[in-house]
Amino acid sequence: QQQVKQSPQSLIVQKGGISIINCAYENTAFDYFPWYQQFPGKGPALLIAIRPDVSEKKEGRFTISFNKSAKQFSLHIMDSQPGDSATYFCAASSDRGDAGGTSYGKLTFGQGTILTVHP
């Protein structure tokens, strides 16, 4: 129930195209859904995040779409650029923690998507 499933594992798009990465979760206690971007040799960096009280959040070329009933959320990268080539992780957490109160600060990550944007 703690899993976050991410797809696809890898994605190749042309410069200027739209990159779409999808995630699905099972735990209805999750109430915070961030996306992280990771370049080789670096730690994950927070890209954009959403809470379930809104269905969409946009920051520049990056948009999160959230479907609470389907327990799915996705990252859209508009006008993809070669500099966007990186690994993207979705994640989820619950401010309330789990039933045992032992995972309050825990982020559960998806398996990651390697995005390659060709010039």
> What SS3 state is found at 88?
strand
| By CB under 8 A, residue 84 contacts other proteins | no
CB 4 to other proteins: min, Å = 10
What is Dmax (Cα atoms) for the chain? 49
Q: How many residues line the site for other proteins (CB under 8 A)?
A: 27
Beta carbon nearer to other proteins, 111 or 116: 111
CB 58 to other proteins: min, Å = 19
| By CB under 8 A, residue 49 contacts other proteins | yes
Do 29 and 104 contact (CB within 8 A), yes or no?
Answer: no
| By CB under 8 A, residue 112 contacts other proteins | yes
| By CB under 8 A, residue 95 contacts other proteins | yes
| By CB under 8 A, residue 20 contacts other proteins | no
Residue 91, C-beta contacts closer than 8 angstroms, at least 6 positions apart: 4, 33, 34, 35, 36, 107, 108, 109, 110
Specify the amino acid at residue 86.
A
| By CB under 8 A, residue 54 contacts other proteins | no
Among 19, 23, 25, 34, binds other proteins (CB under 8 A): 34
Do 16 and 80 contact (CB within 8 A), yes or no?
Answer: yes
Q: Is 7 left (phi over 0), alpha (psi -120 to 50) or beta?
A: beta
| Interface residues toward other proteins, by CB under 8 A | 32, 34, 36, 41-46, 49, 89, 91, 93-95, 97, 102-112
